[in-house]
Amino acid sequence: MQHFAEILKDKIDNLNKPKGSLGRLEELAFQIGMTQQTLSPELRHPMHLLFGADHGIEREGVSVSPREVTWQQMANFTRGGGGVNMFCRQHGFELRLIDVGVDHDLSDFPDIINRKVAPHGTENFLYGPAMTEKQCEKALEIGREQVDAAYAKGCNIISIGEMGIANTSPSSIWMSLMLDLPLEQCVGAGAGLNSEGIAHKLEVLRKSVENYLSLSSEHSPSSLIHYFGGFEMVAAVGAMLRATELRMTVLVDGFIMSACALMASHMNPEFKQVAIFCHCGDESGHRLMLDRMGARPLINLGLRLGEGTGALCAFPLVASAVRMLNEMGNFQDNKITKYF
């Protein structure tokens, strides 16, 4: 692999441009070439997996949005009316909608894949684990199977999104406990809480963590993932882990998906080799999380919609990096004096 890395780097350095002059695009080209182990990588059949589920912790008033927004937005996505629909259309992504625990019967929407782990979402982790270990494994497996389905269609690049009211809460806790950071540095406004709402959210999450630590001092991924995670988040982690095994490029979205990426990288450090962190959002703590992970986001547009929209917005940069590697000539072939 080291020998191939040198060959790939040499190809990038000898394209007819000053060495390093295309900056991050050169880094992306190198990463994708290494992922696919080829000097001429392709981005085939891009797919966007959007997992939806509800959270028991929402009952504690930690989100400005009520839980019915989860199912209403999932239904809206089937009509093509969401931000995620627009960006998928713009950039040629196939969209797959997967219900892994939305608190609503979505059987009237055949475009939503029914893979509910539990019909009403997770339990309230203020009082105990959000899910059982068996449910956690099922959610992980659903993520894996969705990536397998994408791979079977020829896909080699995926983005992942989520729909789940209150899912910044478990994301903040994962961030705090896995990165050993004070909770107040990890908790933000979510969909739009005011200062009083943020203070209430922080207090609920602090008490949840205290209750968890009174039962166990263990911070292992296997403990944190099922105690605090949402079904849509755990499914996303499963998807990331399977994509790593299949050497598929993964476009990582905002705060929630970055928390899932943090979990996935703890479970398999090789995940970072295939992951492209696409944007830094406005949620408090996102920049800090990315910095602690050593991740450099491609764009910073003040996005905080979720759904995977930030990852989709960044896709043209990824596509440009691949085009650079495949379509630019080199100094020798174009008879240009190499001047560095």
The residues annotated as belonging to the active site are: 307
Residue 172 corresponds to which tokens in the numbers above?
Answer: 């903040």
b (16+ CB within 10 A) / e for 82-103: bbbbebbeebebebbbbbbbbb
Residue 255 corresponds to which tokens in the numbers above?
Answer: 């705060």
* Distance (Å, whole) CA 170 – CA 58: 11
Which 3-state string (H, E, C) describes the chain?
A: CHHHHHHHHHHHHCECCCCCCCHHHHHHHHHHHHHHCCCCCCCCCCEEEEEEECCHHHHHCCCCCCCHHHHHHHHHHHCCCCHHHHHHHHHCCEEEEEEEECCCCCCCCCCEEECCCCCCCCCCCCCCCCCCHHHHHHHHHHHHHHHHHHHHCCCCEEEEEEECCCCHHHHHHHHHHHHCCCHHHCCCCCCCCCHHHHHHHHHHHHHHHHHHHHHCCCCCHHHHHHHHCCHHHHHHHHHHHHHHHCCCEEEECCHHHHHHHHHHHHHCCCHHHHEEECECCCCCCHHHHHHHHCCCCCECCCCCCCCCHHHHHHHHHHHHHHHHHHHCCECCCCCCCCCC
